[in-house]
Structure 1
Amino acid sequence: MESARGTTDAERPAPVVGSFPLGALSALLFCFAVPGYVVLATPDPVNRAWPGALLVAVLVGLRYAWIVGRGEQRLIEMTVWLFTYVFLGLAPLVQLREGISPGTTPRTFATLVPESFLVVGLGSLAFLVGGLLRAVRPGGPWRPRVRRPVAVVEPPTTGIPRPIWLLGLGSLLLTAYYLVNVAPALFTDATTLNRQSFTVWPNTATQGIVNALAIMPILVTVVALTLLRLRRPRPEWTLAEKALHLATVLALVATVNPLNSARYVFGTVALALAGAVGLYATARRFRLVAVGAIVGLLVIFPVADAFRTANTGEQVVSPVTALQSGDFDAFAQIDNTLLYVQEYGTTQGRQALGVVLFWVPRAYWPDKPDDTGVLLATFRDYDFQNLSAPLWSELFINGGWLAVGLGGLVFGWWARGRDDGIVTRLRRSRAPGVLGCILPFYFVFLLRGSLLQAMANLVVMLACAWFADRAVRSRLGAEPDDLPAAEPVGSQAS
């Protein structure tokens, strides 16, 4: 039987079947081999609190191995545990055993390391529990809401929806404005590009909004056009439609390139485009992505920095050495957060208010809260202030232990719902939709923080993706959630 999407029932992905051997092998890799290598590659420990980092790495690695073995494409949960494993497990394991603070956050790990691990543990456990609570509710297993069947018509095989045309042309104008202004430094290095951007837009808030408008609309457009073009049956596009697709791809590549783009943004773009062409369509591909992501953060992520700086002679390749760098300052910033709260108390939600009202200019709000990373850098008298502030820090500085626990629960509940939608959609199509392709991988930036830095990109992305998703769904036919579910997702705790 041929569906309205041009995909036969036989071509639809089968329900995912978990693999115990793959899960067990992954557990050996993430819980024993990788942490064991770190322990053996580092000298006798300097800081006696290092077993806390080992415990985090082992427990989170066990959950990550479960996800790999299970094979369900829970992209957001995968990203959360990926960040926790590398940034809050392996990185502090190296730093504490070496007795070296990250270069951007000196004088850390003095007294509050055990409490910092408790913050990591509480937030991570609350995230896990929140997801499990949504998976299994009182009264029986949770099942996704199933709407009544709707009439499905054959989608047209030609033509880009008018909203996508509007988004595409608008995004090209916004990106062109950015490219024209940074053209002298476009394909140089990150330092030169940042200097050029500061010359054109001295106000950092303005600079952040311009960057967001230059990147996110064009990314959403490219993902939407790719989904439309790769649908079945293949569309018969006009020359103008093909030109729009090509122009947006070239503009995206020029704006987000490996030479001077933030690696979090470049990674989001690359993985989003991979999702649009079906990289996460099957359990096998998802498992390869999950394992490859660990390798990417430990090896490719540090090496990629060599292409983004003018001085490449000091770059290192060793994963153990790279984990001591400022890129992996997340745990040190949690330690600094506890020091700040110990001296001044929590901000009682003031930092969160600054995140929500990020769009308000300082001219109208003179005492607007600083970025949490900047606040902590100022508190510790650091010269370099462009520091991270992981989600655990953001929660703790706003409301202490209660905020970490409740925030983790709510985040886990929400993430489980989004992942259920992604899994359900991937059982009927080869891609998780426009937002499903982009948002899960942007969470690496959101988790590392600070939230104030990430909000402009996030809001622009969400608005454009909502606009594009509606147009793509209308062109591809009925939304999967409008059809009877082939198999409940989340019918058991996992």
Structure 2
Amino acid sequence: MESPAALSPGGAVPARVVGSVPLGALAALVFGLAVPAYVLAATPGPRNPGWLGALVVLVLVGVRYSWIVGRGEQRLVEMTVWLFTYVFLGLAPLVQLREGVSPETTPEVYGAFVAESLLVVGLGSLSFAVGCGLRTLRSGGRGARLRTIGPAIAGNTQVGVPRGLRWLGLGSLLLTAYYLVQVAPALFTSVDQLGAQMAAVWPNTATQGIVQALAIMPLLVTVVSMTLLRLRRPRPVWTTGEQVVYWTAVVALVVTVNPLNSPRYVFGTVALSLAGALGLYATGRRFRAVAVGAVLGLLVVFPVADAFRDTSTPGGIEISPLSALEGGDFDAFAQIDNTLLYVDQYGTTEGRQALGVALFWVPRAVWTEKPEDTGVLLADFRDYSFDNLSAPLWAELFINGGWVAVGIGGLAFGWWARGRDDAIVTRLRRSRAPGVVDCILPFYFVFLLRGSLLQAMANLVVMLACAWFADRVTREHLAVDAPARSEPASA
């Protein structure tokens, strides 16, 4: 049983989420047994022996994902990592290897490096799991430790929106308005037409990414932050001006990130972030529903949404999950295979690709030797005509530093992820929603994990900076305006 107090941002601390062994076992049967069995039965005789390694990855990751479902703790980052691994690096390559096909965007893969590619996936995933475990051991095995929030914040009934948040909202609306004016001819058309319009206005791809990030992420942070404030108990009283800023930001966000011409990763991040602010992950039961529904979303909704937006083949909508798993959306494992081939011929880049990611904001006019996006680099290496390809985190690590980078990077990522999730679980034991950054970041990780990192950095940096600012001004505002009778927060 979960305490009703879990839905209240203030007041009593809710009970710890209770795990469900039957639900975990049922999920393990579905994800670790039924889904692999269906794929084996629905595909012909295997054409590439590497499918056995993909099957092992699928079963093991499916069991781990099921453990998260059964436990019910809202570990959003870890859930996203295993979700991506299960679908993109387990299920998709299993189908592709058994069918003997390559994604249409990455032809002629799966040659001599299938086994090594599976080892890269295995090493990175195992290192991630070990990093999570080491972080738990460091905390004495207690996982997320419950800390008491002081009445000075939890009981605050202050009126209004922090001044800094109001300024963030107005600034984000101006940035979004500029973007919308420039892309207006292609708004509500298609992804391709929007891309063509952006290229006509901002020929430099780095400029396109930065402008789009500034148009979306500050607005998303504003809406999430104000929604979290709006749903406090007791509900604060806002002025007419604050109401206007909030609802204008909501409408602008819906217009800017519409399902017709927005990248599905961005649209999904926005939708799930707003759902999180509204309390979608407030209880273990809701979290389990999200975890199970996310798999269905990636296997059915994700490819169907792409088919409906594809204007090149009217009427040719493909809704078969197995057929969809052979498409370009699921090229992550193929790109790891291409990375192994690249490193075999040229060696690792010794961190050069990572340097390009870190300095993404430097114009190519200033840094003429700036590294290309890793997906573009691999596309050029293989002479592909289409270069908007993924480069999953595993590939990014390997191309920068080989096996050592994959192992150390996985450990560091797992350590960070467990700490982040501990903070989320702690927050959700006394509130109906995580903080601003934790409403957004876990779901943006699907894009970060798929890559390329260079493509994802502009949105990430802008989002983190705006979320840090919004969180800081809100905390200061609540602390200053807290009732004088409030007691100090307990240690």
- Please give the TM-score of this superposition, normalised by the length of structure 2: 0.94
Moved more, 391-400 or 234-243: 234-243
Contact 1:188–1:260, Cα closer than 8 Å, also in 2: yes
Which one of 312, 315, 323 corresponds to residue 313 of structure 1? 315
Match of 2:485 in 1: none
Contact 1:278–1:430, Cα closer than 8 Å, also in 2: yes
Alignment of 1:255-266 (within 5 A): 255-266=256-267
Sort the Cα spacing of 1:148 and 1:41 in 2 relative to 1 into closer, same or farther, 3 A: closer
Identity %: 71
1:425 correspondence with 2:408: no
Which one of 452, 457, 460 corresponds to residue 450 of structure 1? 452
Match of 2:193 in 1: 192
Match of 1:489 in 2: none
Which one of 397, 410, 413 corresponds to residue 411 of structure 1? 413
Match of 2:156 in 1: 155
Contact 1:30–1:65, Cα closer than 8 Å, also in 2: yes
Aligned mates of 1:314, 1:179 — CA distance in 2: 31
Amino acid at match of 2:416: W
Q: Cα distance, 1:41 vs. partner? A: 1.4
Name the SS of the counterpart of 1:136 in structure 2.
helix
Sort the Cα spacing of 1:360 and 1:299 in 2 relative to 1 into closer, same or farther, 3 A: same
Alignment of 1:41-440 (within 5 A): 41-137=42-138, 140-141=140-141, 152=152, 154-311=155-312, 312-440=314-442
Name the SS of the counterpart of 1:446 in structure 2.
helix
Aligned mates of 2:308, 2:464 — CA distance in 1: 30
Amino acid at match of 2:368: P
Q: Cα distance, 1:241 vs. partner? A: 1.1
Aligned mates of 1:320, 1:143 — CA distance in 2: 38
Q: Cα distance, 1:43 vs. partner? A: 1.1
Amino acid at match of 1:177: Y
1:391-439 deviation line (CA, Å, top 9, x unaligned):
0000000000000000000000000000000000000000101001000
Aligned mates of 2:458, 2:174 — CA distance in 1: 18
Q: Cα distance, 1:484 vs. partner? A: 4.8
Gaps of 5+ in 2: 483-487
1:145-177 deviation line (CA, Å, top 9, x unaligned):
898986726424421100110100000000000
Contact 2:9–2:432, Cα closer than 8 Å, also in 1: no
Contact 2:55–2:90, Cα closer than 8 Å, also in 1: yes
1:267-295 deviation line (CA, Å, top 9, x unaligned):
00000000000000000000000000000
Sort the Cα spacing of 1:15 and 1:476 in 2 relative to 1 into closer, same or farther, 3 A: farther
Contact 1:191–1:309, Cα closer than 8 Å, also in 2: no
Q: Cα distance, 1:119 vs. partner? A: 0.2
1:197-248 deviation line (CA, Å, top 9, x unaligned):
1111111010000000000000000000100101100111121111111100
Aligned mates of 2:112, 2:372 — CA distance in 1: 26
Amino acid at match of 1:152: A
Contact 2:144–2:426, Cα closer than 8 Å, also in 1: no
Aligned mates of 1:320, 1:406 — CA distance in 2: 34
Root mean square deviation, CA, Å: 2.0
Sort the Cα spacing of 1:146 and 1:33 in 2 relative to 1 into closer, same or farther, 3 A: closer
Amino acid at match of 1:288: A
Amino acid at match of 1:466: W
Q: Cα distance, 1:48 vs. partner? A: 1.2
Sort the Cα spacing of 1:313 and 1:143 in 2 relative to 1 into closer, same or farther, 3 A: closer
Gaps of 5+ in 1: 486-494
Amino acid at match of 1:81: W
Aligned mates of 1:149, 1:197 — CA distance in 2: 46
Aligned mates of 1:143, 1:264 — CA distance in 2: 30
Aligned mates of 1:348, 1:227 — CA distance in 2: 43
Q: Cα distance, 1:178 vs. partner? A: 0.5
- Please give the TM-score of this superposition, normalised by the length of structure 1: 0.93
Moved more, 156-165 or 460-469: 156-165
Contact 1:261–1:308, Cα closer than 8 Å, also in 2: no
Moved more, 392-401 or 300-309: 300-309
Sort the Cα spacing of 1:97 and 1:443 in 2 relative to 1 into closer, same or farther, 3 A: same
Amino acid at match of 1:196: Q
Q: Cα distance, 1:181 vs. partner? A: 0.6
Contact 2:44–2:99, Cα closer than 8 Å, also in 1: yes
Contact 2:152–2:489, Cα closer than 8 Å, also in 1: no
Aligned mates of 2:378, 2:46 — CA distance in 1: 27
Contact 1:147–1:483, Cα closer than 8 Å, also in 2: no
Amino acid at match of 2:335: Q
Aligned mates of 2:317, 2:187 — CA distance in 1: 22
Amino acid at match of 2:72: G
Amino acid at match of 2:162: P
Which one of 443, 454, 466 corresponds to residue 441 of structure 1? 443
Amino acid at match of 1:397: I
Match of 1:8 in 2: 11
Which one of 456, 461, 467 corresponds to residue 463 of structure 2? 461
Contact 2:190–2:260, Cα closer than 8 Å, also in 1: yes
Task: Count the aligned residue pairs.
Answer: 478
